[in-house]
Chains A and B, each alone.
Chain A
């Protein structure tokens, strides 16, 4: 339970407490832990996966200050390159990931520098 509560704290520390987390704290340890998992799962919403030479989701909207993580699930390396050169990952081998924190609002187009037909977009509001 200690671990679960730590995760709850982690979740609340990282994110603006949403209703789920607030409810988790109110309802009690067991239900709270379950809901905390839901909050951790919500964290996955800021993950862009790479499967079959495709960024998913191809377009992601996040709040200012959000860290977006890209994870490559392909057998082939890819990387993440911002069109305006604000960020550029190293080559990501299978299951490697790259994170970038978006400090200001805007639209950030990116592509794979190895396979530039792969494109995506992060919208920061």
Chain B
């Protein structure tokens, strides 16, 4: 209980709400997709067999919030170190890491420095997109772009190909409008359309951004205003995987050939939609914190195209 702060946020979290959170978080469920249909394979303890399957593997890490030191986790850098230790211990080295934003809490140079230092220990290439916490420096995103924006367009969007999969990093945290949600903007959407133009429909697509591209919970701003326009452009593809962060909990859904997945944070959990007065950091007993933090392993198997996402907690 050492992590409890003086605030009264926890007072509203009764047993029922805790259980709801646990159900929502669905900690550690392994699932695979074949032809767009998800099959629950088992819990994390049973996942060892699937992990040993030969395939192309990358990781999704998210919401590191380096610099965060409040009651919900006084040491966000420490829990990132634990996550990185798990990456280093993996028997099969991932091809790369996709980081879905909120690297830092306040976009301070020292926070970016600390993040870079710890992430650098993985020895794995990292593809970044910014979260809203990464662009709140005085120059509104300049610090992020100077570090991570090389070769990107606009506010930091880009695409690349790896193992025959087309990866697209989108930025939906810039130039947000009052009353609105996340925002891609006309320039980025035009770029996306051009980027996809010559791609064959059989090309597997992985698209990642910080805020969920679909509207997951409007009251808390968990969605992207013009995200549907991007998703419409992706509909013709046979396999589309959408990876997001921002909400600090697992949420998964499948629509046609599209699979949506939000990752755990490595810093602090947030409440299930509508289960608390606000989406602010959720204080849980210290001995439960690591069961609500984690990272995701995504395996793309060649040929028959099943795709597996395994969410590992830090517990």
Contacts and interface: CB of A to CB of B under 8 A. Distances in A.
Contacts of B281: 75-76
22 contacts: A52-B278, A53-B220, A54-B278, A75-B70, A75-B72, A75-B281, A79-B136, A90-B136, A90-B138, A91-B106, A91-B136, A113-B176, A114-B132, A114-B133, A116-B176, A116-B177, A116-B178, A116-B181, A117-B179, A117-B180, A117-B218, A117-B219
B136 A77 contact: yes
Interface in A79-125: 79, 81, 83, 90-91, 93-94, 109-111, 113-117, 119
Interface in B147-194: 176-181
Contacts of B133: 77, 114
A97 to B, nearest CB: 16
A79 B137 CA distance: 12
Nearest to B177: A116
User: Majority SS of interface residues in chain A?
Assistant: loop
A52 B178 contact: no
Nearest to A88: B140
Q: Please provide the 4 A-B residue pairs with the shortest distance between their CB atoms, ordered closest to farther.
A: A111-B178, A52-B278, A91-B136, A117-B221
Nearest to B71: A75
B277 interface: yes
Nearest to B65: A76
Contacts of B306: none
A67 B105 CA distance: 29
User: Majority SS of interface residues in chain B?
Assistant: loop
A117 to B, nearest CB: 4
A113 B133 CA distance: 11
Interface residues on A, range: 20 to 34
Given A53-B220, A117-B221, 12 more contacts: A52-B280, A53-B280, A75-B7, A77-B105, A77-B133, A91-B106, A109-B178, A114-B132, A116-B176, A116-B178, A117-B181, A117-B220
A70 B220 CA distance: 21
Interface of A: 52-54, 74-77, 79, 81, 83, 90-91, 93-94, 109-111, 113-117, 119
B55 interface: no
Contacts of A119: 178-179
Contacts of A110: 178
B238 interface: no
Contacts of B273: none
Contact of B221 (A76, A79, A94, A115): A115
A113 B135 CA distance: 11
Contact of A53 (B71, B138, B278): B278
Contacts of A94: 70
Contacts of B107: 91
Given A76-B280, A115-B221, A93 B106 contact: yes
B26 interface: no
